[in-house]
Structure 1
Amino acid sequence: MRNNSGTGWLLAAPLSFVLLVFLVAPVAMIVVVSFWGATEWSIYPAFQFDNYAFLFTSDVTYRVFLNTFKYAAITWVCTLLIGFTVAYYLAFHIRTQTWQIALFLLCTIPFLTSNIIRMISWIPFLGRNGLANSALVSWGVIDAPLEWLLFSDFSVILAFVHLYTLFMVVPVFNTMMRIDKSLIEAATDAGATGWQTLRYVIVPLTKPGIMIGTIFVVALVMGDFITVRFMSGSQSSNVGRMIQNDIGLLQYPSASATAVVLLITVLIFIGTLLRLVDIRKEL
């Protein structure tokens, strides 16, 4: 028993060292710096709550966090609808595993390019003189170009959905593929309609995959800043952009405090999801 215990600790030591150096230590440093002070020309070590006091007493903070939650919620709904539909079609309407794999890989082709390239590709399409407005005007659907297609919340959410839908498709599809098909046949034999089978059999059994996809999508959206910057034309903001602005002004303690609050918010959200659904069997 002692030898086995020692071997286990020895095998876990390299990974533990990597996590300690590249995860725990940076986060700890951010927490420490969040209590430091800063002036216009210097940063000095201290233990004070000025950064957090300013953060929680500013109306801008609440508006930015509310905007971040709005982006995360709308993106989550859109990615869930698209991701669940794609995964359902691949899992239950494609009969052969070869075609399932082929079509799934087809869905991943756009994600072989950089996020920046895929995001910026929307700009010439959504612009005032872009392909979308030109087509709508030429078809007589609209009389003048639509201004809200680009540099708006619509374009930000569209880019988010485009960038992160795959993170919802993968876990949902993986969970659906594990569903015993005999359960679907039993529901059909019992007289259940397609909607009833979906609601009472497929959706409950797919909850772990939905939760994993939710964690991926929400965490990525709340930490993203470059998409909001480019797709809103710097007319909107989220927590990531607020941190970026502080870093650009060399206000590292303020940026660290904001990052700590964001991290705690995301961890509370993930902890709540983990209490609702046991996703360990899917990992």
Structure 2
Amino acid sequence: MITHSRRTSYWQAAPLAAVFLVFFVLPLLATLMVSFWSYTGYSIEPAFIFDNYRDAFDRCIVSLPDLCTTFRTYLSTLKFCLIVWLITLVIGFTVSFYLTFHIRSTTTRLVLALLCTIPFWTSNVIRMISWIPLLGRNGLVNQSLIGLGVTNQPLDWLLYSDFSVILAFVHINTVFMIVPIANSMSRIDKSLVEAARDSGATGWQILRHMIIPLSKTGIAIGSIFVITVVMGDFITIGLMGGQQIASAGKVIQTQIGALQFPIAAANAIVLLAIVLMIIAMLIRFIDIRKEL
């Protein structure tokens, strides 16, 4: 028999569960269902076939050891994800460490943390477009390099390249790494650090054996945020890559634009499965519930 307190807990959780069901579970089930439908250039028909998944991967198996377009696209997406994750992790950890252990005043710490987040209140598209006048052939960076004599001609790789895509990703997603890591570091007892320092531990030893292990929950949460955003992104790839760089999210957007919903749904399910596997590996090493 359900007790009154347990019944009350169920009622309290019911609104959030209903939102989760309507806005996550049902759309996900609909996407999974559509991924098995058949389609032609003129129509989409309900069915239960695996042709959409075969179209994406059968040719890849046949063409091995060469990589097909699908595998190259997913590898490109994973490449951007890994590079952006590493850069945002280094920046996020460094900024969080400075704010937590080098700024003594709580007011100053809050002001600096606010300054880190204010630029992220603007639209992602606006922040991406702001790089174009800086990185273009006639942009400020190229003109400065030419004026300083560093180069004789504009550098074409600054814009519409892997470099510009990674730069925009780092610009957009660094805050998602700073906030959870800073939150984890703020819970570390400062007396433990002082005791370790008084015992003769070096700064590297304190960082390696104390700060990093006690911050791993925040690192994992920040990593989940960055990975999920980068893996599914198509706007940044399109704008900063000049519509010339492929990614899994860009492929799905193109297929939706061509009204190829079943194969787009199949690619979305594959992408979701990859992201979930990455997240599963991350949460094996930490207990997120402690942070939440």
Judge same fold: TM > 0.5, yes or no: yes
- Secondary structure at the counterpart of residue 35 of structure 1: coil
* Partner-residue secondary structure (3-state), 2:112: helix
Using the TM superposition, give the Cα deviation of residue 89 of structure 1 relative to its aligned residue in structure 2, in angstroms: 0.5
* 1:104-253 pair list within 5 angstroms: 104-253=113-262
Hey, what does 1:20 align to over in structure 2? 21
Q: Structure 2: where are the runs of 5+ without partners?
A: 61-67
Match of 1:38 in 2: 39
The Cα shift of 1:157 comes to: 0.2
Question: What's 1:76 paired with?
Answer: 85
| Structure 2 CA distance for aligned equivalents of residues 259 and 166 of structure 1 | 26
Q: What's the CA shift for 1:279?
A: 2.0
Query: Take 1:208 and 1:6, find their aligned partners in 2: how far apart are those partners?
Result: 32
What is the rounded CA distance, in whole Å, between the counterparts of 2:213 and 2:4 in structure 1? 43
Offset of 1:78 from its aligned partner?
0.5
Q: CA deviation at 1:28?
A: 0.3
Cα displacement string for residues 47-101 of structure 1 (whole angstroms, at most 9, x for unaligned residues) = 0000011111241110000000000000001101111111111001100111000
**Deviates further, 43-52 or 4-13:** 4-13
AA in 1 matched with 2:270: V
Deviations 1:260-279 (A, max 9, x none): 01111111111111111222
Whole-angstrom CA distance in 1 between matches of 2:100 and 2:257: 47
Give the 3-state SS of the residue equivalent to 2:110 in structure 1.
Answer: helix
**Pairwise CA distance, 1:149:** 0.3
**Structure 1 counterpart of 2:281:** 272
SS at match of 1:165: helix
Tell whether 2:62 aligns with 1:48.
Answer: no
TM-score by length of 1: 0.98
- Runs of 4+ aligned structure 1 residues displaced above 4 Å come to none
RMSD, aligned CA: 0.9
Displacement, 1:12? 2.1
How many percent of aligned residue pairs carry the same amino acid?
Answer: 58
After superposition, give the CA deviation of every residue in 1:146-165 in whole Å (9 maximum; x if it has no partner). Answer: 11000000000000000000
* 1:125 Cα deviation after fit: 0.4
Counterpart residue identity of residue 108, structure 2: W
TM-score, normalised via structure 2 length? 0.95
Could you tell me how far apart the structure 2 residues matched to 1:114 and 1:106 are?
16
Cα distance in 2 for partners of 1:3, 1:83 equals 45
User: How big is the shift at 1:172?
Assistant: 0.5
Q: Helix, strand or coil for the counterpart of 1:276?
A: coil
User: What are the Cα deviations for residues 171-222 of structure 1, in whole angstroms up to 9, with x where unaligned?
Assistant: 0100111000111111111111111111111111111110000000011000
Letter in 1 for 2:198: D
Deviation at 1:9, TM superposition (A): 2.2
Letter in 1 for 2:15: P
Distance (Å, rounded) in 2 between the aligned partners of 1:105 and 1:173 = 12
